Amino acid sequence: MPGRPGLRIGLIGAGFMGKAHAIGFATARTAFDLPMDIELRTVADITEEAAAAAAGKFGFARWTGDWRTMVRDPEIDLIDITAPNALHREMALAAIAAGKHVYCEKPLATNVPDAREMADAAEARGVKTQVGFNYLCNPVLRLAKEMIAAGELGRIRSYRGLHCEDYMADPGSPFGFRHEPEGGGALADIGSHALATAEFLLGPVAEVMGDCATVIAERPDGRGGRRRVEVDDIARAFLRFESGATGSVEASWVATGRKMQHDFEVYGSEGSLAFSQERLNELRFYSAADAPGRRGFRRIEAAPEHPPYGNFCVAPGHQIGFNDLKAIEVAGFVDALAGLGPEPFGFRGGLRIQTLVEAIRRSSAERRWIGASTR
């Protein structure tokens, strides 16, 4: 679209999430009428060679093995961080210092002080930020939030959220950065998604009671030995919301057979919702207002009535995929950068999730309820 301002991207990291972001950029440009013109300027990876390969594949014009140089490049507007979690802080702070907007994969940081430092720095410098809680971008989650806000379920009474997968179910899978005592564990890795969804739908949590368990006590250290695991494989929490509703979340990365059980159920006085990310294009809705004898959970399929589904397909029920959620995330952030709306989920939001994660972890360790109110 001639005349649109440009948005020059510098991507750090070309792994699983780096590719998802690259597809997200490519799709967002085509599917949305973006107010800015995304330019894939530079990709940085651990080596020049890896970066060069990524540039070719993902369509970046330049590449580098040195992210530190890239974040200071005056021809880059936005730094996109998909590197390992422990590096997020340093990278983001450098980018912020250079006046760049920052798009960072979740979790924002490995601890609350780091996350707070990052959020404070961005606000102080006046740059805009985004953390990659992409499940929130799902059109049917937005529908759920809208229905709750509009009172279609009546007064909300109860919530149950999950995020269970099985990618760490095998005791033979080696100790990695996700098992590091600081920042590691199923709760931080995927429970964070469950917490983000819970607050997205029901508003702030006031108090938590956690129960974390380590199921696989040791893992191969990749050097022929074994290393003790201290972080949680399974984490559960009771939640008291500021609204008065009660609920729970559960995270597990040892849930054999589950690949994407990011699910929730919300019960209100007049209706209920049920969702599973296993069928991410469907929302189930029970309305007590339906006629007697005709009530039941109805399966609403994502359709153009549920923005921004229509940006992907004008026909209902054709379904979007995981990478499309990233494209929606990108489009929302670009709108914010162009001044068309608030940051969808900025560093302040990432800090909030980290705060909840640590409250649950501490609650579990101390075996008592912990306050987590935003008030």
Nearer to its own copies by C-beta: 27 or 64?
A: 27
CA angle 34, 39, 44 (to 5 degrees): 130
The minimum distance between CB 304 and its own copies, in angstroms, equals 9
The site string for its own copies over 131-170 (x = CB under 8 A, - otherwise) reads ------------x---------xx--xx-x----x-x-x-
Residues 6+ apart with CB under 8 A from 103: 21, 78, 79, 80, 81, 129, 130, 132, 330, 333
Nearer to its own copies by C-beta: 113 or 269?
A: 269
The site string for its own copies over 6-35 (x = CB under 8 A, - otherwise) reads ----------x--xx-xx--xx-xxx-x--
Residues 6+ apart with CB under 8 A from 346: 119, 122, 128, 129, 130, 131
Does 297 contact its own copies by CB under 8 A? yes
The site string for its own copies over 201-220 (x = CB under 8 A, - otherwise) reads --------x-x-x-x-----
Which strand (E) or helix (H) includes residue 240? strand 234-241
Nearer to its own copies by C-beta: 84 or 112?
A: 84
90, burial (CB in 10 Å: exposed 0-12, middle 13-18, buried 19+): middle
- Residues 53-112 touching its own copies, rule: CB under 8 A, are 53, 56-59
Give the span between the Cα atoms of 166 and 235, in whole angstroms: 14
Does 296 contact its own copies by CB under 8 A? yes
Stretch that binds its own copies, among 66-74, 90-98, 319-327, 330-338 (CB under 8 A): 319-327
- Retrieve residue 114's tokens: 């780091």
The minimum distance between CB 273 and its own copies, in angstroms, equals 9
Nearer to its own copies by C-beta: 92 or 300?
A: 300
Per residue in 28-41, is it b (16+ CB within 10 Å) or e — as a string?
Answer: bbebbebbbebbbb
Among 6, 113, 174, 321, binds its own copies (CB under 8 A): 321
The site string for its own copies over 238-267 (x = CB under 8 A, - otherwise) reads x-------x-x-x-x-xxxxxxx------x
Give the span between the Cα atoms of 147 and 289, in whole angstroms: 14
Nearer to its own copies by C-beta: 119 or 164?
A: 164
Stretch that binds its own copies, among 80-88, 91-99, 187-195, 278-286 (CB under 8 A): 278-286
Nearer to its own copies by C-beta: 119 or 254?
A: 254
Q: Which of 306, 18, 314 is nearest to 138 (CA)?
A: 306
For residue 121, CA distances in Å to 9, 124, 352 come to 20, 5, 16
Among 68, 226, 228, 295, binds its own copies (CB under 8 A): 295
Enumerate the β-bridge partners of residue 248.
160, 238
Among 324, 329, 335, 343, binds its own copies (CB under 8 A): 324
* Phi, psi at 271, each rounded to 5°: 180, 175
CB 344, CB 193: distance < 8 Å: no
The minimum distance between CB 329 and its own copies, in angstroms, equals 14
The minimum distance between CB 263 and its own copies, in angstroms, equals 11
- Retrieve residue 353's tokens: 């999730």
Does 172 contact its own copies by CB under 8 A? no
